[in-house]
Amino acid sequence: MTAENQCRQGFSLIELLAVLAVASLLAGMVFALAGAVWRNARAARAQAQMETIADLLEIYRLEYAAYPDSLADLADRFPPRYAFDEHKLPLDPWNRPYRYATNSPHAYALLSYGPGGTNDTNRWIRFGY
């Protein structure tokens, strides 16, 4: 058999390694993008939950002329169909309780410590009046 009569039988090792390197690069880019989307979705979910809690705080203030002393008081006043399942307060997307404080009948602060926890103040999600 001469070299001209032989046909190639498959891919060379270099070709397989090149395809594997390109596929790995693309997979890494997809996973990095998915991680960013996941982080943004958690922050958006925390903001939506805090807006729901803020709406309930406003309803409470309209009924009682002041904000509640704690979120537990808020959960006890509203039936589960509003926002809280069986009078339990929701946790933020990072499985920590929302923080609530009020020092006057007309103002409150509501926040989530975000993904960084208590020490990373730049990543806190704040809501309040």
Cα separation, 67 vs 72, in Å, equals 12
Number of domains present in the structure of the chain: 1
Backbone angles phi, psi at 50, to 5 degrees: -70, -35
Domain span at 117:
44-128
What's the distance, Cα to Cα, between the start and end of the chain in Å? Answer: 87
Neighbouring CB atoms inside 10 A of 98's CB total 19
* Residue 35 within a domain: no
pTM: 0.68
* Residue 27 within a domain: no
* Residue 94 within a domain: yes
Tens digit of each residue's pLDDT (9 = 90 or more) over 43-84: 888 888 888 888 888 888 999 888 888 888 887 777 655 556
Tens digit of each residue's pLDDT (9 = 90 or more) over 74-117: 877 776 555 566 557 788 888 888 888 888 777 888 888 888 77
* Residue 119 within a domain: yes
Please give the helix or strand (H or E) that residue 39 lies within, else none. helix 13-64
Tell me the CATH number at 98: 3.30.700.10
* Residue 117 within a domain: yes
Per DSSP, 43 falls in state H
* Residue 78 within a domain: yes
Residue 51 falls in which region: left (phi positive, over 0), alpha (psi -120 to 50) or beta: alpha
Enumerate residues 6+ apart whose C-beta is below 8 A from 115.
39, 42, 94, 123
* Residue 5 within a domain: no
